Amino acid sequence: MPLNNLCGRATGIGSTPHPDPAAALDLIFTYFKEIPHWPQLPRRGAAEGLARQYLGPLLKHGLILPRPNGTPYFCLDDPGWEKRCLDYYELLLAGENALQSSEFAFMEESAAGFYAFLERCARQPPPEALCLKGQVAGPITVGFRVTDPAGKPSFYDPSLREIIVKTLAAAACWQARQLQAFGSPALIFVDEPALYHYGTSTAVGLGRPEIEASLEEIFTAVRSTGGLTGLHSCAGNDWSLVTGLSLDIINFDAYDYFSSLLVYSDLLNPFFTRGGALAWGIVPSSEKAQSEELSSLQRLFESQVEALVKQGVDENYLRSRYLITPSCGAGTLSPDLAERVYYLTASLAERIS
């Protein structure tokens, strides 16, 4: 499905504040009929956390263990590590059929919203859906939350990083296939809040080639299924890291971090020319949404478009290759505030289209 068909539409990022999947789905299908997403439900417990949700295969095969505080680590010092690692690599490298197998399925206790989403789509096919959106945590985010036994982020270790990237790529492929079973294309976002670490004093060893290669492998895997790709990061980032990759949509926090994108405005025309689109996270996923109205958000959007045009970005691209989203997930909000965020997002997309 051409990305152009999605432009001008609205969707969500991932998390909602509901412990009950049915309530989350009611919210999603009310406001995002054209690009519904499956809900991450962090209030159900730690198993639905941003990184933990995608670690099922590594837990099942004994490559990682949780510490008493819940932080997972690769058990490199375990006597059976080498054998388990070798067996897992054979699974990862077994080919396309393996990557679609149940070995990389989400654990039921970690993704109640995903399985409820599939059940609802099977029972009530969404008639207005142009695609179905899923998400996977990014390799930097997972690689900083999962450590080696000494507590060092596993992203810095080439072997551990490779395991993480291939596991996430397999999870992305598996869910894309599940979503496409309903006859609509899949759109898979890589949620990468830790991208902001690049260039900071706390992550001196975080290299550009490793970041680009890790993300590219996941995007390529999703594209191999026929799915569309996106990257979400709600921080001030070096956007040159991703504008040259094979992704379709860059989702940025336009409400609080628009200036970080403006710095890289010279990279946007080539990105658009290659077929890319910007997803403007312009509705704040915070208490600030209480004080915003459609008119104020529309003025903000127009002022940002104008600022980019002044920097030489083609206005036709800006006004034709865009989506509207919240600035981040809604998992930390109250249900009422989450609904206001979704209402503003859907209504704003309709208003400026």
Structural domains in the chain? 3-352 (3.20.20)
CA distances from 217 to 42, 181, 341 (A): 27, 23, 33
What phi-psi label fits residue 341: left (phi over 0), alpha (psi between -120 and 50 degrees) or beta?
A: alpha
- The whole-angstrom separation of Cα 78 and Cα 298 is 56
Residues across the chain? 353
Strands (E), the chain: 64-66, 72-74, 132-137, 186-191, 228-233, 249-252, 277-283, 322-326
Q: Is 281 exposed, middle or buried (0-12, 13-18, 19+ CB in 10 A)?
A: buried
- CA 109 – CA 129 distance, rounded (Å): 27
Is the CB of residue 194 less than 8 Å from the CB of residue 144?
yes
CA distances to 154, 195, 208 from 198, rounded to whole Å, are 15, 6, 8
Grouping H, G, I as helix, E, B as strand and the rest as coil, residue 52 is: helix
For residues 339 and 292, the answer to whether their CB atoms sit within 8 Å is no
Going residue by residue through the chain, which has 353 residues, state the pLDDT in tens, using 9 for 90 and above.
Answer: 568 889 999 999 999 999 999 999 999 999 999 999 999 999 998 889 888 899 999 999 999 988 877 779 999 999 999 999 999 988 888 755 544 567 888 998 999 999 999 999 999 999 999 999 999 999 999 999 999 999 999 999 999 999 999 999 999 999 999 999 999 999 999 999 999 888 776 676 788 999 999 999 999 999 999 999 999 999 889 999 999 999 999 999 999 999 999 999 999 999 999 999 999 999 999 999 999 999 999 999 999 999 999 999 999 999 999 999 999 999 999 999 999 999 999 999 999 98
Q: Model-level pTM? A: 0.95
Count CB atoms within 10 A of the CB of residue 217.
16
